[in-house]
Amino acid sequence: MAQQPAHKPKMSPQPSIPVPPKPASKKYPSLLWEISGNGLKKPSYLFGTMHVSDKLAFHLGDSFYTAIKSADVVALETNPESWQDDYSQSVFFRGGRRNGNSLMNLYSSRWEWPADHMRITTFAIDRYEEAIKAALAVEPSMINGMLYRTYGRQAEDFEEDTFLDMYIFQTGKKLGKRVSGVENFQESEKLVMEAYKAMLRDQNKKRRSYDYEGMMTNPKKVEDAYRKGDLDLLDSLESLTVFSDAFQEKFLYKRNEIQANSIDSIIKKMSLFVGVGAAHLPGKRGVIELLRQKGYTMRPVRMDDRNSMQKENVDKIRINNTFTTQTGDDGFYSVSIPGKKFYRFTDWNGMDVVQYADMVNGAYYMVTRIKTNSLSLGHSSDLVLKKIDSLLYENIPGKILKKTAITKNGYKGLDIINRTRRGDYQRYQLYITPFEVLIFKMSGNGEYINAGNESQEFFGSIKLKEYATAGWQTWQPPTGGFSVQMPHIPALLKDNGFGTDRLEYAASDAATGNSYLIMKANLHNYSFIEEDTFELNLMDESYGYSDFIDKQLSRRFISLNGYPALESKYKHKDGSFSSVRYVIQGPVYYAIIASYKNDNPDTQRFLQSFAITPYIYPVPAPRTDTVMSITVTTPIYAQADKKNDSPGMEELLQLSNGMMDDDADDINVPAFSTRLIGNDTIGEKILVMHFKVPQYSYKKDSATLWKNASVSTWFSDSTFIIKQSREYTLPNGMRCRDLQLTDTNSSRLIISKMFYNNGHFFSITTLTDTLSKQSALLSNFFSSFKPVDTLKGESLFARKSEQFIKDLFSKDSMTVKKARRSLYQVAFDSTDVPLLKKAIDSLNWKMKDYLTLKKFFIDNLGRIRDTSIVSYLQKLYWKVKDTADWQAAILNALLNQRTKTAFLAFKDLVLQEPPVMDDDYTYNRGFRLPSVYVDYTTVTKSKKTSYFGKWAPLFDTLSLSKVIFPDILQLMNIDDYRNDVMNLLVTMVDSGYLKTEDYETSFPKIYLEAKQLLKKQLAKENKANMEKAARKEAPVASLYPADDDDTGVSDAGNTDLDRYAILLLPFYNKNPGVQAFFEQLQTTQDRRLLYNTYILLLRNKYKVPDPFFTKYAKLDEYRSELYIDLETNKMTDRFPKQYKNQLDISRSLIVKTLTNYDKIDTLIFIDKLPVAYEQKKGYVYFFKYKRMRDDLTWQVATAGMQPEKTELVDVKNDDFTSVDEDRKLESDKPVKEQLQKMLKEMLYARRSSASVFYDARSFTLYRNYLSEMVKSQRYRD
């Protein structure tokens, strides 16, 4: 029982029994119902709530309070006492943004796959001021959902201090009642998820016209109905919002049954007051009728006028909870709270926030920690305190009423009391240590923190650990890994800021003023191995990115007991220094940093004492993972959450995105699962993978088995050095492969062990090093790992196409569904031709996905080479002539045969019976998730083509396509086919496969259309010129600047005219009209159209005027393109020599990358720098540019690389061609130095390990606005 307050509040006189309402014709005239009869000795009560804090829900009169006082138990839908535990385990909420199985992390949680990269922020030390501002302002959003459900300033004057359900719970607790829930939280959450999935699958969703008036007035009607207690009207209004009966079945009706059964169970033992959402009460399947069906008498109780005195008396009651001591994860602080534990619901980068909600009293408690690295920055604790003091006014909500300097265990701080704008008092205590800032906060409704002892209990219990400085000592973490000498046991800190994820071990020495820091980052990625020196260079640059670094003074590569290392020294902006050692041990990266104002022996004592030591693990123990189907002996293992609903969430996500069938059991996710085993503090990880190949998968060549069961780069990347590759078979038939990979100049090593048996793949993989002895984790795991022997499956090397067809036509509906889901996982070959024909002929309209299945089989038949297929498809075409989709599929299948016979059959069919064609001629079903990790089919893929219209095979095999001409040209008279036939004709003529006689019959029509199109083009140009002239004569006043590019010159081109020109050119010497056409075409003022015309003439050996070459070589937009076209046609001697130089070509290559919508206003050459890349040497050209003339800053564009011999040019190499908006030229730094840095970054970014290294600079934008983002999510100011 909840504790009662010391004083008993005075209550207004209450009637002894609830007052019945006046007779009414309505069936459900009240929100409050008495439950009696059926053997009950004492009545219970059912109340319909609204889950809001709006005052409209709080018209609570004497009958409400009388009913709740008379009950032994007070219940809601779920029990608020366990909400914090429930929500921390909820699939919707747990894990926050960083980890776990929240909806936002759905796939990453289901498939744990290491893909770490070093970033420029990985070892950079960030400033702390913004994080402090955010920490002062942060308010836990989950607390709002649990305690208040307020909507912020706009509505706060029209809300109560909590929402109605919570008020019922708090009232029950304050009156000494037992509390409960009539639903289980996890079961309800699962049911809600199922309801949404059912809605998305529902084929009978209601369709209603958009009703603006209804949309605006219905919420108001709902409010009025609730205010009047009119459940009949609420029920009818509720029905108007239902668009899926399937959703309603699970979301409402199934939950109604659960609630009614729970109520029935409770009231047989004790009297009950239960509040559930009002929508659950009315209707034939509502809780009221369900209880009547169980034999209870349900009597409406009149909700009399609101009794504010009753509410005020309840609000005054205060429950004195028992406080328990909580300790920080690292043991640095302890504090007492009125609960069993802290919870992590708030997840902002740069802050570690834990919180607890006192659900009964409506208060909450928080501890926030912000790592400062103040000693590295040269900031004393006094300076940090001074900075914080300056931030209080802007970042403490409301008005600061009191601020007092305090000290705790030698750490200075501040005690602050403030009052928010809505009148809630809050209290903070802040403490500054050499390494972090801790903020303890308490908040409640009104003067809660001032009225009782809770504030003193909380703040008075705070204890902080002191860092004893007894003298230098050798220290290593409890988990091992390294040892080092330090002046005291270091503080353990975690950096989870923007773009960082590292552990830090920090210490300081007041005697010398030195500070010591070890940063440790664990980076696991199995797709590449980088050179040690390159990775060390990245670490060096990352630390150098810290804002306080002025410049690097020295650096040299060393070996630390055999481990690759780098020594560097830096000067800070405040005149102090730091000496750093970077060390790499497999996936673990260390930065050992000593910061000092004056060098002294302790600096080197610290740096030189660092040593790699063995990891310390618990004693290995046998483990069995039933989810992964494996056994292993290992010191640590992470089992899956038994309540893991990620697959269900994944299914919901797929349904909502249209990625899944409507069948309730159609989960299109392969049986693929992973487990990442390891200890974050130690840094070692092992990736365990289990994949069951789909039911009908088939692989013809067993030699490729392991290639398709591993990381793709292991066998495709030639830079890997294979240290070990051993294949063998276990006595039970399990095929195995042991693999060890390294790379040139690297100490790192990828170890993998792969298993296959009966359609099941397993693998265990880790990243380690070649220098260390294997740890207890790695040695035990790799030596003992075994897949279980009881797994069922079929061989991947057995053909299953016949079984698939048999299952697809099975009489068992579940077998058919499974086969249909596997449609795109089946491979067919020439032996399956009779099977496919039989399947096509056996399909009927009664089968689900009938159209899709038939087109699928037709397409697969077309991809198989067999002499009987063409005649079969011809006959089938006439059988399905009333279904255009199938006819189109048959035509494509014939073309996929790529034989003369098939092409002729195609021509005959399409000319005799051309099907109606729509834009969507493909027949794929909705998007399906790709199969993961294993290539388990051998479906033949068509040759890649650049043409994506209808009949792509015609464009792949132009020599064969000639057989359908000129007959196919008849289709140009049909709109559905005109464009595709025209494209094919143009391609055939331009490639030289058709001569004039092959399409001469169509010449008159082509010629007439071309002349008409040219007239329109020239008329459009004349009109544009006249409009330009008019603008010059009579300029129009405008707020916007004039367009500098209003030159009248167009580069739009005319693709249709280009095509007609290709078709007419072969008639140039045969028809004078064609000559006249080209003469007129050359008068166009459109530069693109004119260029294309001249290039066409050049390609076909026609004379082109010499000024053409100079005109277009002079233009940046065309220069490089002209050189490419001339080079292709072996005419580079025609390219003007004055423009054949690397500078002009580079300039053109930059301009060419831009469209008309992102043209550059100004482009100026800066410099060229030598570069070596992929065993080639050359130059990268740098230009500065402005998008708009009056831009304040210059951006930098690059082109290259150009050949090492400067007299040569290269128009194809674009490795370093980029117009990057992030490259700005700074006016206060030497230009050459900036360009060299940009070039280095471009080179680095082309290596796998640094592919995202510089991207993290963009995090600065978010980091600088962290406090603003936090404030935007506040809800109770």
Q: Are residues 168 and 289 in the same domain?
A: yes
Where are the extended beta strands (E) located within 802-959?
A: none
Please tell me the distance from the alpha carbon of residue 329 to that of residue 323, in angstroms, as a whole number.
Answer: 19
How many whole angstroms separate alpha carbon 182 and alpha carbon 255? 10
pLDDT for the residue 943: 39
**What's CA 790's distance to the chain center, in Å?**
37
CATH no. for residue 574? 3.40.1000.10
Please check whether residues 736 and 771 belong to one and the same domain: yes
Q: What is the CATH number of the domain that holds 657?
A: 3.40.1000
Judge whether 312 lies within some domain: yes
pLDDT at 933: 32
Task: Please enumerate in sequence order all residues whose Cβ is within 8 A of that of 179, keeping only pairs 6 or more positions apart, or say none.
Answer: 73, 74, 75, 76, 79, 80, 81, 169, 172, 173
CB 940 within 8 A of CB 828: no
Residues 266 and 341 in one domain: no
Question: Which of 405, 430, 464 is at the close of a domain?
Answer: 464
Q: Do 40 and 83 lie in a common domain? A: yes
Residues facing 1142 on adjacent strands? none
Contact between 1135 and 1113 (Cβ < 8 Å): yes
Residue 1121 lies in a domain: yes
Q: Are 45 and 245 in contact (CB under 8 A)?
A: no
- Domain boundary among the residues 263, 288, 316 is at 316
| Dihedral over Cα of 289, 294, 295, 301: its sign | negative
Q: How long a stretch of residues is the chain?
A: 1277
Q: Is the dihedral of CA 1195, 1201, 1204, 1207 positive or negative?
A: negative
Per-residue exposure over 403-435, b if at least 16 CB sit within 10 Å of its own CB, e if not: eeeeebeebbbbbbbbbbebebbbbbbbbbbbb
What are phi and psi for residue 297, nearest 5 degrees? -90, 125
3-state secondary structure of 324: strand
Clarify whether residues 851 and 916 are in a common domain: yes
Separation between Cα atoms, residue 1234 and residue 1232, nearest integer Å: 5
In a domain, 1082, yes or no: no
Please tell me the predicted confidence (pLDDT) of residue 303.
75
* 1006 within some domain: no
**Spatial separation of the C-alpha atoms in residues 382 and 432, rounded to whole Å:** 8
What is the total count of domains within the chain?
6
Dist. CA 678–CA 635, nearest whole Å: 10
Q: Where are the alpha helices (DSSP H) in 628-718?
A: 646-656, 713-716
Q: What angle do CA 513, 519, 522 make, to 5 degrees?
A: 175
Task: Write out the residue range of the structural domain in which residue 687 sits.
Answer: 621-787
Q: What is the pLDDT of residue 856?
A: 92
Best CA proximity match to 502, nearest among 532, 561, 543: 543
CA–CA distance, 747 with 565 (Å, rounded to integer): 11
Two tokens, residue 570: 């830096």
What pLDDT is stored for residue 949 in this prediction?
66
- Whether residue 51 contacts residue 278, with contact meaning beta carbons closer than 8 Å, is answered with no
Q: What is residue 6's predicted lDDT score, i.e. its pLDDT?
A: 38
- Closest Cα partner for 571 from 580, 561, 584, 560? 580
- Residues 736, 653: one domain? yes
Rounded CA separation 1113/1173 (Å): 29
Ramachandran angles phi, psi of 423, nearest 5°: 95, 10
Q: What is the SS3 assignment for 765?
A: strand
229/255 same-domain check: yes
1013 occurs within a structural domain: no
| Shared-domain flag, residues 611 and 625 | no
Q: Confirm whether 1020 is domain-assigned.
A: no
CB 27 within 8 A of CB 283: no
Residue 1041 lies in a domain: no
Tell me, yes or no, whether 597 and 577 share the same domain. yes
Taking 70 as the pLDDT cut, the residues of the chain under it are 1-25, 51-59, 91-111, 141-162, 202-223, 225, 227-228, 235, 237-243, 304-308, 497-499, 639-670, 707-713, 715-718, 918-949, 1035-1048, 1155-1157, 1271, 1273-1277
Residues 343 and 227 in one domain: no
Q: What is the DSSP string of 7-72?
A: SPPP-----SSPPPPPP-S-SS--SEEEEE-TT-SS-EEEEEE-SS-BGGGG---HHHHHHHHH-S
State the number of CA atoms in the 13 A half-sphere of 699 facing the CB: 19
Quote the pLDDT of residue 1045.
Answer: 52
d(CA 492, CA 487): 15
Q: Which of 974, 994, 1014 is the last residue of a domain?
A: 994
Is residue 1070 a part of any domain in this protein? no
Residues 771 and 838 in one domain: no
Q: What is the reported pTM?
A: 0.84
First to last CA, the chain: 34
Same structural domain, 225 and 286: yes
CA distances from 499 to 349, 434, 506, 701, 1247 (A): 9, 23, 20, 44, 19
- Run of H or E including 977: helix 975-990
CA distance 1103 to 1092: 14
CA 552 – CA 537 distance, rounded (Å): 13
Q: At what angle do helices 129-137 and 381-395 cross, to 10 degrees?
A: 50
In the chain, the largest separation of any two C-alpha atoms, in whole Å, equals: 114
Query: Could you tell me which residues come within 8 angstroms of residue 683 by beta carbon, excluding any fewer than 6 positions away?
Result: 481, 520, 522, 587, 588
Coil, strand, or helix at residue 654? helix
